[in-house]
Structure 1
Amino acid sequence: MDDKIVCGLCPNACSLSEGQTGACRGRKRSGGKIVPINYGCITSAALDPIEKKPLKHFHPGSFILSVGSFGCNLHCPFCQNFEISQSGMELPHQPVTAEALAETAREMADKPPGNLGVAFTYNEPLIGYEFVLDTSKLLKNLGLFSVLVSNGMISEEYWRALLPYIDAANIDLKGWRQEFYDWCGGNLATVKRNIELAAGKIHLEVTTLIIPGKNDSVEDMKEEASWLASLSTEIPLHISRYFPRWRSEIPETPVGKIMELAGTAGEYLKYVYPGNC
């Protein structure tokens, strides 16, 4: 009889038989344990302006080496990077060790235009938890920064263990209702808890992508912004405009709606930024 093993990294808690890959496509049961099959598998890399993450208040005007792998533990129908987030090992990738990535980041820091460190982004970086942790420890020893662009869908014990090695993060707060997270295959309570844990410990910014008819109500934004303000009124909130992608054919968000919600959030938070307008 095959006794399944539960992957405890995120709330999905995939129960896996030997050889089976989790819903995130990045973790697999092999040799009787859960292993990250996307460890060091880089599908995308670029030297990006830090503002592109988006991080408006973390060393503005600087650049950061941004890397992504494959897989995600959500399946948002509107995903902007579905080509890599909804793929697995079949996606072309370049194997890189944590040591090599950290050294590349250091070398780039010494050359124009400079480099802050490494941003783990493009797909969901936390399903490759071990690689992020290993690389972040090395970066800290080199005096460089580790940045996350994440959906925040990670179990609390793992998040707590990682936070001491992370310098900044932009976390997607995708919607203010669990019904919205049901649409994406996620858990709102987990994301909120991880935002709470990060606030005050690292540089934190939050992004909400506004989708017409799904998460665009003024009341929801009031509640979201008020809750963020209860943690700190200085948490920057990025309110971004949606465009149809992947499986979603919902029409693009009107610019006027973004500006309306930005105004609402601005009643509670000091820093609110409309995006993609």
Structure 2
Amino acid sequence: MYEAHQYARTEGDAVRCSLCAHRCTIAEGKHGICGVRINRGGTLYAANFARVAAEAVDPIEKKPLFHFLPGTLSYSLGGVGCNFRCRHCQNWHISQASLDAMPLMEISPERGVERALASGSASIAWTYNEPTIWHEYALEMGALAREQGLGTVYVTNGYATEEALDELAPMLNAFRVDIKAFSDDFYRKICRARLQPVLDATLAAHERGMHIETVTLVIPGLNDSEDEMRALITWVLDNLGPDTPMHFTRFHPDYKMTDRNPTPLPLLEKIYTMARDLGVRYPYLGNVPPGPYENTYCPACGALLIERFGFSSRIVGLDRDRCTKCGERIAVVRSV
């Protein structure tokens, strides 16, 4: 096993992990909430280093990232474990699995970069389960990826500590973060976590120059009130700025939350309109039938810039980062 970063020894053989906001105190022979950081004799080990449950080459739009290297492929890796316990998790079969519960591939950081380059991908994404708990693996692979001109992406629940983000900042380009609700009660009951650390980490990633896009899965009756959506949108505008892409996605029943209906499309359309009216320049809807809510439009003249259909995209009105119709600068990362 690989010795972990981000921990300190405490009394006896116990250690305190500082990787995520749970800041677990871990006794000898035990593991943290994530299930993959294990204390052996007062040394914390990342037992998940280079152990891969899922490997794919995805369109970057699947993350979803709409303003980071649009139209490119992303070499995507997932492991097992998570520091959340979301009742509606759509990848629960790996996020809630233990390291010995399923066969895992071993892909070294060097081999991962080789495979990314061979696939024609423009980036590497750590995704499918929570990348924060894969810190050491992503850190090593990401540093090698950046040397080869690849972009780097976290698809994250945003529970990393500021110390962890400081270590990641030199290599991590994009921080695609779920803001699951704008209610601490939701986070505590549905995810067994808290809201404020997610907001703190998202702001810290923004301050460190990472590209940010937010995703909120809108669940009927739990996080879909007009007041809550308005508060979330206002927070993003005030702290991340109006150029931050915000994705509002449709819920479908899964895992331990099969008692609720899918999100009504009119509700999502209402949230989309609210976001536009409040000043978000790039709102999007996800998990909806193909249509205008997935496209990117110029916020100045309304011209179509990027047309999307499912996970495919076509750049139709951009010259690098400028609208070809009016010359407006568009908040999009075309190269790293």
**Map of 1:141 onto structure 2:** 147
**Map of 2:328 onto structure 1:** none
Q: Hey, which of these two has a bigger chunk of helix by percent?
A: 1
Matching of residues 173-212 of structure 1 within 5 Å: 173-183=179-189, 184-199=191-206, 201-212=209-220
Give the aligned CA root-mean-square deviation in angstroms: 1.4
Equivalent residue of 2:166, what SS?
A: helix
Say whether the 8 Å CA contact 1:199–1:232 is kept in structure 2: no
Residue 31 (structure 1) shift: 3.4
**Map of 1:269 onto structure 2:** 280
Cα distance in 2 for partners of 1:22, 1:193 equals 21
Residue 262 (structure 1) shift: 1.4
Greater relative contact order (Cα < 8 A, sep 6+): 1
2:80 is the counterpart of 1:75: no
What is the letter of the counterpart of residue 269 of structure 1? V
Cα distance in 1 for partners of 2:280, 2:182 equals 16
Percent identity, aligned pairs only?
35
Say whether the 8 Å CA contact 1:173–1:191 is kept in structure 2: yes
What is the letter of the counterpart of residue 207 of structure 1? V
Residue 219 (structure 1) shift: 1.0
Cα distance in 1 for partners of 2:267, 2:45 equals 43
Deviations 1:127-148 (A, max 9, x none): 0100011111111111111111
Deviations 1:200-253 (A, max 9, x none): 612110000011111101111111111111221000000001111111122221
Cα distance in 2 for partners of 1:266, 1:92 equals 45
Cα distance in 1 for partners of 2:49, 2:17 equals 16
2:215 is the counterpart of 1:215: no
Cα distance in 1 for partners of 2:237, 2:112 equals 36
Gaps of 5+ in 1: 109-113
What is the letter of the counterpart of residue 186 of structure 1? A
Cα distance in 1 for partners of 2:218, 2:169 equals 28
Matching of residues 105-144 of structure 1 within 5 Å: 105-108=116-119, 114-144=120-150
Cα distance in 2 for partners of 1:205, 1:197 equals 14
Cα distance in 2 for partners of 1:122, 1:157 equals 23
Equivalent residue of 1:164, what SS?
A: coil
Deviations 1:105-132 (A, max 9, x none): 1222xxxxx2112100000011010001
2:247 is the counterpart of 1:238: yes
What is the letter of the counterpart of residue 174 of structure 1? K
Residue 20 (structure 1) shift: 1.0
Larger Rg: 2
Match of 1:6 among 1, 5, 16: 16
Equivalent residue of 2:154, what SS?
A: strand
Cα distance in 2 for partners of 1:274, 1:143 equals 31
Matching of residues 85-100 of structure 1 within 5 Å: 85-90=95-100, 91-100=102-111
Cα distance in 1 for partners of 2:89, 2:32 equals 19
Say whether the 8 Å CA contact 2:18–2:163 is kept in structure 1: no
**Map of 1:111 onto structure 2:** none
Say whether the 8 Å CA contact 2:158–2:177 is kept in structure 1: yes
What is the letter of the counterpart of residue 264 of structure 2? P
Equivalent residue of 1:222, what SS?
A: helix
Equivalent residue of 1:101, what SS?
A: helix
Deviations 1:52-76 (A, max 9, x none): 0000111211111111000000000
What is the letter of the counterpart of residue 199 of structure 1? H
Residue 3 (structure 1) shift: 4.3
Match of 1:48 among 39, 42, 58: 58
**Map of 1:29 onto structure 2:** 39
Say whether the 8 Å CA contact 2:13–2:41 is kept in structure 1: no
**Map of 2:300 onto structure 1:** none
Residue 51 (structure 1) shift: 0.4
Q: Normalising by the residue count of structure 2, what TM-score does the alignment of the two structures yield?
A: 0.78
Equivalent residue of 1:274, what SS?
A: strand
